[in-house]
């Protein structure tokens, strides 16, 4: 039985990982040392809340870059879906593939929700983490509303 991990917290080092990006290339979190990283987790490509969140990051990308920050999005979608989503929305940042949700589960972001009709469903808890240039977590928003993610990230970065 695998142990459920705790969500990384402010002040902790962000656990390193390696995932494929929307171009099928391996990416490690540690590849971005020297820059701040806004790492956001979202349920699925081509859904309304996820499009809103991605477009907000796109529309504010210059402000984030001005604070030495890059953005990485993570969901269980595959390389092809991420590529199409990134192209359709003209995103200036990469999306990472967590097909088996291993990273999502390791960061304790796989949750069960109860729908209004009483049924339940499992999926990604929309969230974001701001990681400093040395890999230390500066801010955790878990969960976060799609519309609030970018304003909260910009506020934390002083942008």
CATH number of the domain enclosing 60? 3.40.30.10
131 vs 108: CA distance, rounded Å: 17
Active site residue 55: no
The answer to whether residues 126 and 42 touch, using CB atoms and an 8 Å cutoff, is yes
* Residue 1, in any domain of the structure: no
pLDDT at 147 over 70: yes
pLDDT at 2 over 60: no
> pLDDT band at residue 113, thresholds of 50, 70 and 90?
confident
> pLDDT band at residue 88, thresholds of 50, 70 and 90?
very high
* Residue 100, in any domain of the structure: yes
Domain that holds residue 57: 18-157
* Residue 12, in any domain of the structure: no
* Residue 122, in any domain of the structure: yes
43 vs 139: CA distance, rounded Å: 20
User: Catalytic residue among 20, 39, 50, 157, which?
Assistant: 50
* Residue 97, in any domain of the structure: yes
Say what the pLDDT of residue 115 is. 78
Tokens read off for 152 = 């909260």
pLDDT at 4 over 70: no
> Could you give the 3-state DSSP secondary structure of residue 6?
coil
pLDDT at 152 over 90: yes
Say what the pLDDT of residue 118 is. 87
State the average pLDDT over residues 152-159: 92
* Residue 8, in any domain of the structure: no
Say what the pLDDT of residue 116 is. 84
* Residue 13, in any domain of the structure: no
* Strands of 127-131's sheet in order across: 26-28, 18-21, 94-97, 69-75, 36-41, 127-131, 137-141
pLDDT at 150 over 70: yes
* Domains identified in the chain, total number: 1
For the chain, the distance separating the N- and C-terminal CA atoms, rounded to the nearest angstrom, is: 43
| CB contact burial 103-131 (16+ within 10 A = b; e otherwise) | bbebbebbeeeeeeeeeeeebbbbbbbbb
User: What percent of the chain stands above pLDDT 90?
Assistant: 86
> Residue 129's Cα: distance from chain center in Å?
7
pLDDT at 10 over 70: yes
The 10s digit of each residue's pLDDT in 44-77 is 999 999 999 999 999 999 999 999 999 999 999 9
Considering the chain, what is the average pLDDT of its residues? 94
Contacts of 20 (CB under 8 A, 6+ apart): 26, 27, 79, 96, 97
* Residue 94, in any domain of the structure: yes
């Amino acid at each position: 039985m695998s142990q459920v991990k705790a969500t990384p917290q402010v002040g902790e080092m962000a656990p390193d990982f390696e995932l494929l990006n929307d171009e099928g290339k391996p990416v490690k979190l540690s590849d971005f040392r020297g820059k701040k990283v806004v790492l956001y987790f979202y349920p699925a490509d081509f859904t309304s809340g996820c499009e809103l969140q991605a477009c907000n990051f796109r529309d504010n990308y210059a402000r984030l870059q001005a604070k030495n920050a890059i953005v990485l999005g993570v969901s269980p979608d595959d390389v092809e879906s991420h590529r199409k989503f990134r192209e359709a929305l003209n995103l200036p940042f990469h999306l990472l593939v967590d097909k088996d949700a291993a990273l999502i589960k390791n960061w304790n972001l796989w949750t069960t929700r109860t729908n209004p009709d009483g049924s339940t469903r499992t999926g990604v808890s929309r969230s974001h983490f701001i990681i400093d240039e040395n890999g230390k977590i500066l801010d955790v928003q878990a969960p976060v509303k799609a519309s609030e993610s970018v304003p909260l990230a910009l506020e934390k970065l002083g942008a």
